[in-house]
Structure 1
Amino acid sequence: MSDPAHGSWYFSVQLPRDTPGPARFRKGGFRTARQAATARDHALATAVAGTNPRRITVEQWLRRWQQSLPGRVRRSTAATYGHHVDYYRIPYLGNHTLTGLRPAHIETMFTTIGALPTRSGRPVSAATVQRIRATLRRALNMAIREQLLLVNPARLILLPRPHRHRPQPWSAARVAAWRHDGQRPTVSGWTPDQLARFLTFTADDPLYPLWWLASLRGLRRGELCALRWTDLDLIEGTLTVNHHIAHVHGRPYLDSPKTAAGHRTIALDRTTVTVLRQHQQHQQQFFSDARKPWQPDGPVFTRPIRPDWLTHHFTARVTASGLPPVRLHDLRHGAATLALTAHTDLKTVQDMLGHTSYAFTADTYTTVLPEQARQAAETTAQIILNAQHKLPRTKPG
C-alpha cells in the first residue's frame, strides 16, 4: 500500500495467533511496491517458520514457498508461479490450514475459476487450469519434503485434459466463411500462396528479414528479438540461437533458452542469406549516415523490439494486407509445415524448432496442406486403378 503522507510504500500483515510478538505487523519506508511485497513475504515466511505446523495456513505456506524460488527456477517461471498464487491460490485456498486442505476445497476452487471469464471474455482454458494445478502440486510437494503433509491433495484432483487444436490451413472455403461472418479456426495457418503474398506485401517493411526468418526458419518471437550479428555466420549459412527476450512484470530481459534443445544451430538457405546480407548493408549505411559506429556484435534488428510489441505490429501488418488472420506464433507452425512439404525429415524439423520431444513436434506443428492431401488421395486411388488394369478382362454373362 502507498503512504500519501510520506510518498513511500508499506505493508501490513496479520500474523498467526501463536506467533511470538504482536498479532499485526506493519512496516513502511519502501521505495517501490515490489520492495514492500518482498519484505512482507519475508516477514510471513519468518513468522511461519516458528509457528505450530498445524496452524500454518495455505497462504502462509505459499508465501514461504515463493521465498524459496529465486535461484531455483527461471525468473519468468517464478513470475508465473507468483501470478497463480496471488490470483487463484490465496483468494480461494489461503484461509484453510495446510494440514486441513482437502481435495474438495481444491475442486471447489477449480469449479469457481472455470466459471470466471478471462480478460478476453473467454473461460479459463483447460491448459491454464492444468498449469495452476501443477503450481499447487509443486508447492505442496515441498510441504511433504518438510514432513508437514503426508499426502499431496492436489494429486487427487481429476481435471479435464487440454484439447490440442490441430492447426487448420486457410482453404478457400474457410476464407469465404471468414469474410462472410468472421468465422475462423481456433488455430490456423497460411498456405504457401498466402504466405508469399504477405512477404511480398511487407517487402519494404524494415522488419521484412524478421518476418522472413519467422516464416521459413520458425524462430520464436523472443529469439528473433534477441538475435545478434555474432549469432549469424553468413559465409557458412548458419544461425545459432543463444538467447531470447523474456518478460517479468511487463519488463523484458535477456535470458538463455529454456532447454538444451533450445540452444541450436539452424541452416540457412541461400535466399535467406541474401536477405540478411542486404539487411546488414542497409543497417551499416544507416549507422554511417548517422555518423555512428556500426557494431558487428550488435542486434540484428536495431530498433529495441519487445516480443509483445512485435505481436501487435505483426497483427497490424496482417490486417493491412487483407489476408486471413494468423498469429505470429503460427508462422512457426507454418515453417515446420513448409519444411515437411519439402520432404524434410521430422527429426531435422524438430532440431530446427528447438523441441526436446520428437512427438511434440509431430503433434503440434505439422498440418497436412490441401495440396498434400489431394496428392495423397490421388496416389492412393491410382494404386487401385493400376491393379484394376492388370486384371483379365471378362465379358458379362
Structure 2
Amino acid sequence: MATIESYDSSAGKRYRVRYRKPDHTQTTKRGFRTKREAEVFLASVESRKADGTYIDPSSARVTVRQLGSAWLSGQTHLKPSSTAVVESAWRLHVEPEWGAKLIGEIRYSEVQTWVADLARGSATDKPKSPALVLRAHGILASVLDAAVRDHRIAANPARGVALPRKVGREHRYLTHEELHHLAQASGQHATLIRVLGYTGLRWGEATGLRPRDIDLVRRRLAVVQNAVLVKGEVIIGTPKTHKRRSVPFPAFLLPSLEAAIAGREKDDFVFADLLGKPLITPTTRFNSWFDKALESAGLPTMTIHDLRHTAASLAIAAGANVKAVQKMLGHASAAMTLDVYADLFDDDLDSVAHRLDQAATSTSVVKMWSNENRPGPK
C-alpha cells in the first residue's frame, strides 16, 4: 500500500512517498515540497506500473562500460572485419569518454557536445572523419538503445543529436585502355587486375577464389567466400552480406585464368603469396606493387576498390542494365546500385529526352504546338 508522509528537514517541511515496485519490494521517494507534488508523483508511478512502462530508478545506476561490454559480446552477427572496427571505435573513442558514466546521468546535450568535439578535433587531437564519428556515436546509441529496451532508462539521450554528413569519395573510373596499361604494369598481378576491373569483385572476394570456383566452360566465377585482413591476419569467411553469387567474366580473360589455375589443387588460392595464402590488400602497404603499377601506367592515385567502380562503369557503357549490374556486384537491390552509380546513368536522361522527342514528333501533337506558337492571329 502506498503512503505519503510529511517530515521535517533543514529546508522546512517536506513529503515522502512510500510505494511498492512491480517486484513488490518497497522503496521511497523524498523531497517533495508540497503534498500535491507527492500525490502527482504517486499517481504517475501507479499509472506506469499499470501499463508496464515503470522504470526502477536503481536500474539506471549502471555504467556504460558494464552495458557496453555485454553489448559487444552480443554482436555475434558481425563479420570479423566489422567486429574489429567496432571494437576499435569502442576502445579508443567511446569507452574513454563514457565508460564510467552512469546511464541514468547521461544528457542529450553532453552527447551532442561529444559528437561535435570528435568532428572538429581539439588542440591535442585531430578531427575525426564523419565515418568514424558516426561509428562511435552509433555504438553509444546502440548500447543505450539496449538500456531502453531493458527498461533501465525511459529514453535514449544519444538519439536525435546532429551528426556530421558522410560525403562519399568521388569514384575513379578507368577506360579499357587505362585498365590494360595498369594490368601490364602490374606484372605477375596482371590477371588479378583484369579480374577486378572486368567482374567487379571486391578484393577479398577475388583473393578468396579457388580453382573450384572458376567455371571455364560457362565463364563464371562463384563468389562463395571472402578473404579479409583482420589485425594482421587473413580471415576466410562468407562474402559481404553472407550471400553467394555467380559472376560472369568476358571470354578474353579465359586464357589468363586458365594459366592462373594451372598446376593448382582445387582448394588452393588462385591469387596467393609465396606461402599459398591470399594476397594482402596492396594499399595497406607503403609504396606497394599497386602504387608502382599506377605510377608506371601514368595513372593518378586510386584505390584497389576503384577497380570495382571501373567494372560497373564499363558494364554500363557496354549496355548492361541496372539489374544485371546489381547482380554482378552483389548489391542488395537495384536501388542501391542506382544510388552508388547515379553519375553513370546521366546519359540515360539525355536518351529519355531524345526518345520522347522522337515519339512526340511522330504524332500530330508537335504540329499542333507549332501552330499554337506561330506568330500572328490564331
User: Which TM-score applies when normalising by structure 2?
Assistant: 0.70
> CA 1:59/1:309 → structure 2, altered by over 3 Å: closer, same or farther?
same
Partner SS, residue 236 of structure 2: strand
Quote the residue 1:275 is aligned against. 256
Percent identical? 27
Among residues 277, 296, 304, which one is paired with 2:266 in the alignment?
296
Contact preservation (8 Å) 1:336, 1:366: no
Give the CA deviation at 1:360: 1.8
Give the CA deviation at 1:358: 1.7
1:64-86 superposed Cα distances (whole Å, 9 cap, x missing partner)? 322333x3433323222211211
> CA 1:345/1:209 → structure 2, altered by over 3 Å: closer, same or farther?
same
1:192-232 superposed Cα distances (whole Å, 9 cap, x missing partner)? 33223323x33x71111110010000110111111111111
Contact preservation (8 Å) 2:89, 2:132: no
> CA 1:84/1:334 → structure 2, altered by over 3 Å: closer, same or farther?
same
Aligned: 1:362 with 2:346? no
Quote the residue 1:211 is aligned against. 193
> CA 1:78/1:114 → structure 2, altered by over 3 Å: closer, same or farther?
same
Give the CA deviation at 1:310: 5.9
Task: Tell me, in whole angstroms, the C-alpha distance in 1 between the residues paired with 2:202 and 2:307.
Answer: 9
Partner SS, residue 302 of structure 2: coil
Contact preservation (8 Å) 1:333, 1:366: no
Among residues 79, 82, 94, which one is paired with 1:77 in the alignment?
82
1:91-126 superposed Cα distances (whole Å, 9 cap, x missing partner)? 222232111111111111111111238xxx984232
> CA 1:194/1:101 → structure 2, altered by over 3 Å: closer, same or farther?
same
Partner SS, residue 228 of structure 2: strand
Among residues 113, 116, 128, which one is paired with 1:108 in the alignment?
113
Give the CA deviation at 1:301: 1.6
Q: Show the 5 A alignment for 1:187-266.
A: 187-199=171-183, 201-202=184-185, 205-260=187-242, 262-266=243-247
Letter in 2 for 1:190: L
Partner SS, residue 207 of structure 1: helix
Contact preservation (8 Å) 2:226, 2:240: no
1:280-302 superposed Cα distances (whole Å, 9 cap, x missing partner)? 33xx2xxxxxxxxx412211123
> CA 1:235/1:187 → structure 2, altered by over 3 Å: closer, same or farther?
closer
Quote the residue 1:344 is aligned against. 320
Task: Tell me, in whole angstroms, the C-alpha distance in 2 between the residues paired with 1:258 and 1:225.
Answer: 14
Contact preservation (8 Å) 2:120, 2:126: no
Task: Tell me, in whole angstroms, the C-alpha distance in 2 between the residues paired with 1:229 and 1:85.
Answer: 39
1:352-396 superposed Cα distances (whole Å, 9 cap, x missing partner)? 0011032221121354399x699969969x97xx99xx99xxxxx
Letter in 2 for 1:152: N
Quote the residue 1:93 is aligned against. 98
Give the CA deviation at 1:264: 0.3
Q: Count residues with an aligned counterpart.
A: 305
Contact preservation (8 Å) 1:61, 1:98: no
Aligned: 1:127 with 2:134? no
Give the CA deviation at 1:155: 1.5
Q: Which shows bigger deviation, 323-332 or 339-348?
A: 323-332
Aligned: 1:324 with 2:300? yes
> CA 1:374/1:96 → structure 2, altered by over 3 Å: closer, same or farther?
closer
Contact preservation (8 Å) 1:93, 1:109: no
Task: Tell me, in whole angstroms, the C-alpha distance in 2 between the residues paired with 1:150 and 1:238.
Answer: 53
Contact preservation (8 Å) 1:189, 1:326: no
User: Which TM-score applies when normalising by structure 1?
Assistant: 0.67
Give the CA deviation at 1:59: 2.2
> CA 1:365/1:332 → structure 2, altered by over 3 Å: closer, same or farther?
farther
Aligned: 1:60 with 2:66? yes
Structure 2: runs of 5+ lacking an equivalent = 1-57, 368-378
Q: Is the radius of gyration larger for structure 1 or structure 2? A: 2
